[in-house]
Amino acid sequence: MRLNWSDVTPKNMWLNRRQLMAGGAALLATPALARIEAAKSAYSTDEEPNSLEDITSYNNFYEFGTGKGDPAEYAGGLTVDPWSITIDGLVDKPGTYDLADVMKDQPLEERIYRFRCVEAWSMVVPWIGFQLSGLLDRVGVQPSAKFVAFETLVRPEEMPGVASPFIEWPYREGLRLDEAMHPLTILATGLYGEPMPKQNGAPIRLVVPWKYGFKSIKSIVRISLTDKMPPTTWNMLQPSEYGFYSNVNPTVDHPRWSQASERRIGTGLFGGRQDTLMFNGYEAEVAPLYAGQDLAVDF
């Protein structure tokens, strides 16, 4: 069954929401009629989050350009309502689901996560989201499924970066099924208590906090369950530099720079340098997933 926003939202609120959107609600996915109510998560770090300005002005979203400021400059025209996600492959209930149905009955939490980029910079982000495992349980993962593949929206008229042949669009990512089902893995729909800003992956994105940031795919339009390791964008581009797993690992350097330390955004070019933590500080929670694997080979 396919639901529309009007099926789950009172008509007067739905119309008011559309009017606000037409008026240009800055860079948020949808104008916030109220702050998102979300429970505080036990998985949160106690580190101080970066500012909203840091998080929304310095990030990677190549569909809008390769510069760190390009997403904030060009993502404002992205249409994010209505939005649907196709869920297919080895599931019991394949189909195209409206965002409201994807989120239905999924308890939202605020999770303050460390976020580490492969370029050796980091942030702390207060995401709002829900466990990916809850959605996968609802659609019914079949026993033969071993991996979860994701795809980002491709809309050239709103995403100037996709004119570049540098990447084979759409942007693709993937996780092993046990990684996808881990309670740390979430689908995020907001941050700082508000709907997800467009430049950060509105209206719904993946967040996998123990992996480098490019694994946390933005603006998701397809989730596929498969029995084979799926192709992923950066691994397709340069497999010697970007492995499928892409776990944060200070002992395995990128071929062109060290991963032993990182620069915390918001502390200046020469400040805030700190040692990189194994699995980005989530070693206690996720190291058992990789027992017996050589992480220098499965990088």
Q: Which fold has domain 5-290?
A: Sulfite Oxidase; Chain A, domain 2 (3.90.420)
Strand 84-89 vs strand 220-226: parallel, antiparallel, or unpaired? parallel
In the structure encoding, which two tokens stand for residue 226, read together?
């498969």
Percentage of residues of the chain with pLDDT beyond 90: 85
Give the mean pLDDT of the chain.
Answer: 90
Contacts of 243 (CB under 8 A, 6+ apart): 235, 298, 299
The distance from CA 181 to its chain's CA centroid, rounded to whole angstroms, is: 15
pLDDT of residue 129: 98
| Residue 147 host element (H or E) | strand 147-152
At 130, phi and psi to the nearest 5? -140, 160
Is the pLDDT confidence value at 43 over 80?
yes
Give the pLDDT confidence of 272-287 residue by residue, as tens digits: 789 999 999 999 999 9
SS (H, E, C) 170-239: CCEEEEEHHHHCCCCCEEEEEECCEECEHHHCCCCEEECCCECHHHCCCCEEEEEEECCCCCCHHHHHCC
pLDDT tens digits for range 81-115: 999 999 999 999 999 999 999 999 999 999 999 99
Q: What was the pLDDT predicted at 18?
A: 34
- Residue from 223, 194, 193 nearest 206 by CA: 223
When pLDDT is averaged across residues 256-269 and rounded to a whole number, the result is: 91
pLDDT digits (tens, 9 = 90+) for 216-236: 999 999 999 999 999 999 999
Gap between the Cα atoms of 294 and 223, Å rounded: 28
